Amino acid sequence: MKDLPFYQCPRYSSCNVNSCPLHPQYPNMPIDPEDPEKRCTIAKSIRVRISAQFPGMLRYDGLSPREFSAKERWNSLSPEEQEARRNQARTLRARTNPSAQGVSAEMAFKSDLKALENSNNRNYDGD
C-alpha cells in the first residue's frame, strides 16, 4: 500500500489535509470545513521530489494548480525571454535589496537622500 506518493510525505502520519497535492485524485478531493488544515504547507521542492518518484501518476506533478500553471507559462517562454525575465528580477532585487550587491542599507539610504536633496535644489533654483 506504500505505492502512493502521499505515503512518502514526511508529514503523512500527522497531516490533516484532505486535498493533498501528492494524492492521485488531487485537486478533486473534498475539503472538510472542520479540518484544521485546508491546504498543504510542505515545501514545493519536497512535493516535486516525491512526485518525481511516481512519473505520470499525479496530474500536477505534486504542485498546486496555481504553481503548475506558472511552471507551464515559464516553460512556454523562449530561452531568451526567460533570461530577460531573470535579468529584470536581478535588477529589481538589486534596487530593493542593496546589501545583496555589497552596499549597506545605510549607504544606499544616504545615496538616495543625497539624490533627493540634489533634485529638490534644482527645482528651487529654477532648473
Answer yes or no: is pLDDT of 63 > 90. yes
CA distance 60 to 41: 16
Residues 15, 18, 19, CA angle at the centre, nearest 5°?
115
pLDDT at residue 99, rounded to an integer: 61
Lowest average pLDDT, out of 25-29, 35-39, 66-70, goes to 35-39
Domain ranges for the chain: 77-124
**Looking at this protein, which amino acid is placed at residue 81?**
E
Q: Which three cell numbers stand for residue 100?
A: 545583496
Cβ contacts of 25 within 8 Å, gap of 6 or more: none
Mean pLDDT of 110-116: 68
For residues 41-63, average pLDDT: 94
**Could you tell me which residue, 114 or 41, shows the higher pLDDT?**
41
Q: In this predicted structure, which of 7-11, 42-46, 112-116 has the lowest mean pLDDT?
A: 112-116
CA atoms of 89 and 10, how far apart (whole Å): 33
The pLDDT tens digits for 88-110 are: 988 888 877 766 555 566 666 66
With 80 as the cut, is the pLDDT of residue 3 above it?
Answer: yes
The answer to whether residue 114 scores a pLDDT higher than 60 is yes
Q: CA 112, CA 3: separation in Å to the nearest integer?
A: 58
